[in-house]
Chain A
Amino acid sequence: MKQQSAKIGVREYVSIAVLMVGTKATEDTPANLYSQVQNAAWMIPLLSAGFFFIPLYLLIKTMSLYEGKDLFSVIKKILGKYLGFMVCLVIFIINSFAVSFDTRTYTNIIRSFYFTTTPTLIIYAILMFICAYGAKKGLQHIGSVSYLIVFYAVVSLYVALWLGTKHANINSMFPLWGPGAFVLVKEGAQKVTIFADFFLLTMVLPYLKSNKAFKKGTWFSYIYICIQISMSILIFVCMFDESLGGTAYPFHTLIRYISLGHYIPNVEIIFFIIWIMAAFIRFTAFLYINALMFGNLFKIKDFEYLIPSLATIYLMVGFIPEAPINVSLQFKPIIWSTAGPMFAGISILLWLVALIRGEFKHAKNKNIM
């Protein structure tokens, strides 16, 4: 029997988004933010969300002109064949590097905290293998699996944070404005990369049940995630204070720090299990979106077959940096500072071109008719 690919609902979409973007609080993002703006780091996600809100809103508005089309088709339609192709290619390349270095970061976390003697390659290969397998199953199944585990992931994060508050000192969040309001705004504008994933998620729009579901899901997860990240960073700041700048992966330090009563001192494995599940989902979704982009760029219909090869390439690229420190100090900042602002720029550009070309008026007339 042929299995037709069914569309995913709001629940699945929100679960993917929450697991994909929400995990950012548990990697090196908080430390990265702290090194820039010190104890006001928790405000950056809120500010960035505010900054990214406008481009995202415009993008979704532009997308709604073309019912059931994905991001790349819309870009090509608005910017023309050649310019559109170039823009799409750039997005794809940036995203590919992002996946490579992100997966490497996660491998580093696993290796340095839990499997110190296991070779990086084995950990990395398992991660990529499972993600490729999941991605090949298709978006609907990614959605289903994320829906099955999202509840546990979110609850476990809150439990960990709640246990962390016992060691926290609320005074660490002062001075409230950190290095000053101006720096905050500047950093907030640059760090919109935190929410860049939402830009990429517009790729999966045709696979959703309706545009309305997409809009609803996006805004709900957007608001939820910005609160979640900001809250986690606040707790990290309160817990670690000054030393957060030197703590590469605060979430994992936190779960090592906490205990359940006096008798069970180390509970990190419990949280690790759920965290790694979320990580698997995150990269599965990423891989799928990248394959989707690649298929769209080069007009390959059965793009699912590309996923194993793409995963292998990402593994090899991600394996280039020799040491973990290289990843977070040399390679990732490039993506950090370019991806977000650029995606925001593209979104606004698309809207502007569509506006100038009168697409909105056109659509309005069509609706009236």
Chain B
Amino acid sequence: MKKKIPKLLMKSLNTEPEFNEESNVEDIEIKKQDISPDIEKNLETFKKIFTVPDNADVKLREFTIQQLNRKAFLLYISTMADLQNIMAGIEGPLIDSEHPGSKIKDIVSYPIEKTSTNIGDITEFIAAGVTALFVDGDPDCYLFETTKIRGRSIEKSENEVIVKGAKEAFNEKVIDNIALIRKKIKNENLIVKTQTISKRSRNTVFLVYQKDLVNEELLQNVKERLKSFETDSTIDLSILEQYLEERPRSLFPTIVYTERPDRACAFIEEGHIILLMENSPSCLILPATFWAMFHSPEDHYLRAPYGNFIRILRFLALFVACFTSPIYLAITNFHVGMIPPDLLMAIAGTRERVPFPSIIEVLMMELAFELIREAGLRVPSPIGPTIGIVGALILGQAAVQANIISPIVIIVIALSGLSSFIIIDISMNFAIRIARFLFIFTAGFIGIYGVTALFIGGLFYLVSLKSFGTSYFAPMTPHSFSSKDLLIRHIPVKERFRPGYLKPRDMVKQRKG
């Protein structure tokens, strides 16, 4: 009731114009029909659908099948199909085969994928790179799986760099991606399920999970969510991510986006669900917790002490990235007593000739750092090193000499900027960087009290976040059974359980003895 009234109000204020689809009503009607046995009619229909003489890469080849003495035509998209195979396996034998035979199946050497009669279906197949063969007098159309899509080969992971462990990364071909996962999990229980999620461009999502591990309720939940949105096209996994998330406006991510197959496999083995899509060099892992974003695969590849060392370092970096500039601001503005007198003198001395209040100074420098960072990402690699020079010399040295920034601010910003690179997950990285600005504002407003208030408020917000029913800080709190791989990880022998918050069908990952 209490939510209804504002909703009604919003509706009356915010009217959306309604548009009816009018572009291809005729085509939609045609696609519902079946093909006719008369080849001339089919030829006409498909020429119209694919706009044949104008559409350069759609190849239509008419010929006569010698043995049957019937007219036929092949239709395929040359950029999507394997031309050599079509020549050798389909076209060649059809035109001049010496074997006596009466069926198409006996003539061509290419395995027939299937036959179809519906025009809409055939169109869909052809668009995906399948070759269609129409024969005069035949009520069926023969479809040959000739798809060959070009793409990048499997390369090194570039955004999630690690020193020890597998280097290969996902690429844009989903077949390769699935193969990479299959290569690591050789188990018949690994299921790859497809689901079409958009109407017009017919994008398919591949759900990958272990049948005997994944929680049925979670799986159902994910499937329903995938079905729930009606959209014409979802071209990339990162857009799908935003459709899937419960709070797309939130600062903090609730789905892990990774390009590393080894990471994906580790999560599948724990009972998570992986989503893959054609054209996306990555995968989505759900549900995800704070810890999934915070950990790096390297933590597990290194020996326990080393792995824990970098984890603690990362935890420290998280705080440094978030809080150095706010704390600097708060202490120099509100709690000067905390600074040892000598240091205070030094700070005051350097700040003497700077005309701005320190919050402006910090904000300017933070902004400059973010600019350098974004520019560094987009800059063409031959002039990459220039960015370093610009950043260090012009913004650092010169700003200090021009008395715009005091040297200590440079130290503070450099420290917090450097620390922010340690968080490997790109979304989490953004969350931390933006949160830092919020903290800076509160620190400028009311010092450490404001920072702490925002921190506690933020914690309340974070613990209330849910990713497909999983709390953000699970299994730490609310507590559930797990192998306690949170801040500190144990040696692999001790990690015997899957995380309890997933309610996997098999909790124990490693039995004793």
CB–CB A273/B448 < 8 A: yes
**Interface of chain A, helix or strand or loop or mixed?**
helix
**Is there a chain B Cβ closer than 8 Å to A329's Cβ?**
no
Could you say which residues of chain A place their CB within 8 Å of the CB of B337? 265-266
The 8 Å CB contact of B449, one of A126, A133, A141, A265, is A126
**Is there a chain B Cβ closer than 8 Å to A157's Cβ?**
no
**Is there a chain A Cβ closer than 8 Å to B9's Cβ?**
no
A269-B335, A272-B448 known; A1 vs B246 contact (CB < 8 Å)? yes
CA distance A145 to B479 in the complex (A): 12
The 8 Å CB contact of A145, one of B451, B463, B466, is B463
CB–CB A114/B449 < 8 A: yes
CB–CB B479/A11 < 8 A: yes
Could you say which residues of chain B place their CB within 8 Å of the CB of A284? 460
CA distance A12 to B463 in the complex (A): 13
Interface residues of A in 102-126 (CB under 8 A from B): 110, 114-115, 118, 122-123, 126
Could you say which residues of chain B place their CB within 8 Å of the CB of A145? 456, 459-460, 463
Residue-wise, chain B 462-479 has the 8 Å CB interface mask toward A (1 for contact) of 011010010101001111
A144-B477, A144-B478, A276-B449 known; A137 vs B334 contact (CB < 8 Å)? no
The 8 Å CB contact of A12, one of B449, B453, B455, B478, is B478
CB–CB A141/B460 < 8 A: yes
Which residue of chain A has its CB nearest to the CB of B343?
A263
CA distance A134 to B44 in the complex (A): 68
The 8 Å CB contact of B455, one of A115, A129, A272, A277, is A277
- Chain B: minimal CB distance from A220 (Å): 15
A8-B478, A123-B449, A277-B455 known; A134 vs B334 contact (CB < 8 Å)? no
Which residue of chain A has its CB nearest to the CB of B460?
A134
CB–CB B334/A280 < 8 A: no
Could you say which residues of chain B place their CB within 8 Å of the CB of A267? 338
CB–CB A269/B448 < 8 A: yes
CB–CB B338/A9 < 8 A: no
**Is there a chain B Cβ closer than 8 Å to A305's Cβ?**
yes
CB–CB B452/A265 < 8 A: no
The 8 Å CB contact of B340, one of A6, A129, A263, is A263
A130-B457, A264-B340, A269-B338 known; A276 vs B452 contact (CB < 8 Å)? yes
**Is there a chain B Cβ closer than 8 Å to A140's Cβ?**
yes
- Chain B: minimal CB distance from A15 (Å): 9
CA distance A126 to B454 in the complex (A): 10
CA distance A6 to B474 in the complex (A): 13
CB–CB B456/A134 < 8 A: yes
- Chain A: minimal CB distance from B454 (Å): 8
- Chain A: minimal CB distance from B211 (Å): 24
CB–CB A114/B460 < 8 A: no
CA distance A147 to B476 in the complex (A): 9
CA distance A89 to B471 in the complex (A): 36
Could you say which residues of chain B place their CB within 8 Å of the CB of A149? 459
**Is there a chain A Cβ closer than 8 Å to B2's Cβ?**
yes
- Chain A: minimal CB distance from B282 (Å): 25
CB–CB B479/A9 < 8 A: yes
**Is there a chain A Cβ closer than 8 Å to B240's Cβ?**
no
Could you say which residues of chain B place their CB within 8 Å of the CB of A268? 338
- Enumerate 27 A-B pairs (CB-CB under 8 Å) in ascending A order: A1-B246, A1-B469, A8-B478, A12-B478, A110-B449, A114-B334, A114-B449, A123-B449, A126-B446, A126-B449, A130-B460, A137-B461, A137-B463, A140-B478, A141-B463, A142-B460, A143-B477, A147-B477, A148-B477, A263-B340, A265-B337, A265-B340, A266-B337, A269-B331, A269-B338, A273-B448, A280-B452
Binding site for B on A (CB under 8 A): 1, 3, 6, 8-9, 11-12, 110, 114-115, 118, 122-123, 126-127, 129-130, 133-134, 137-138, 140-145, 147-149, 263-269, 272-273, 276-277, 280-281, 284, 302, 305
The 3 A-B residue pairs whose C-beta atoms are closest, nearest first, are A144-B463, A144-B477, A134-B460
